[in-house]
Amino acid sequence: MTVNALFVGSGRDWDTYAPALIAAFARLPRHVVLKADHAPDTVDYIVMAGSHIIEDFSPFIRCKALLRLWAGVEDIVHNETITFPICRMVGGGLDQGMVEWVVAHVMRHHIGMDRHILGQDGIWRDGFVPPLAEDRPITILGLGALGTACARALSALGFPVTGWSRTTKDISGIRCLSGPVGDALTQAQGVILLLPKTPDTEHILNAETLAKTAKGAFVLNPGRGPLIDDDALLAALDSGHIAHATLDTFCTEPLPDSHPYWAHPSVTVTPHIASATRPRPAADVIANNLQRGEEGRPFLHTVDRTAGY
């Protein structure tokens, strides 16, 4: 029996992911045909990289699931023409890639790396000794797969880690909180944002919550741009309450060249590269979920339409 999988994405996405997907599908017991031009009424699964390429999914009358190659689903989760399950990417190299980006930038700020790397001007700067990790409390907002992986990695390095999530989690070695987000931010010296974009998380980092952090704290945002009230963060940076912000995601992307983040001396902009889906492990995740569908088993990583992720 042939299974038709429709690839949705740009030509670049096809070149990146199609070879790995085809190889992963070839290992399945059923014959899977991956194409970018299946007729809608013949499609069994949609494998989606790009966004806003399809607005009306109603012609896909026999589709069993939309399998997303990315973690984010905010662009499709509220599309009422999608009447079949949406499965977001969990794994696929995203967790390890995020751990590496987060740990790198936490350590950069923790040991004061910039003062030496950027200060190659003949001045011997030996007057700064950073605290040990055990004296630098870190808060992670968001304890999904990515937040949990980062929390464990930072805890293993000796940082006291507090994690906040909408529902209470229990992670060994991590102080897990829910409820008022300010409780998790109180006296945090580093804040990492790894929440999804929902109406409840928009501007979760604002003037009130930023004020809860320790003076001189740093902020990392590899999550979603709207999690931050930009004006409030810029004010906190200007006042010195926040020492530095390293931002990978923004409300508008690419970040406009006129945006004040570009010129601010206490902001580092990275171009939404904190973690990317890697083709080979992502293809394995997609193939596994497709096979589960063919066997009548529940899909993994299905999106809760009410929660938005």
Q: Does residue 278 carry a catalytic annotation?
A: no
Quote the CA–CA distance of 125 and 111 in Å, as a whole number. Answer: 13
CB 220 within 8 A of CB 102: yes
Q: What is the DSSP letter of 287?
A: H
Q: What share of the chain is helix, strand, coil (3-state, %, to 5)?
A: 30, 15, 50
Quote the CA–CA distance of 185 and 189 in Å, as a whole number. Answer: 9
Single out the catalytic residue among 38, 68, 224, 244.
224
Q: Does residue 272 carry a catalytic annotation?
A: yes
Single out the catalytic residue among 272, 278, 280, 301.
272
Residue positions counted in the chain: 309
* Exposure string over 34-45, b if 16+ CB within 10 A, otherwise e: beeebebeebbb
Q: Which long-range contacts (CB under 8 A, 24 or more apart) does 9-15 make?
A: 9/36, 9/48, 9/49, 9/50, 9/53, 9/69, 10/49, 10/50, 13/49, 13/50, 13/69
Q: Which residues are catalytic?
A: 224, 272
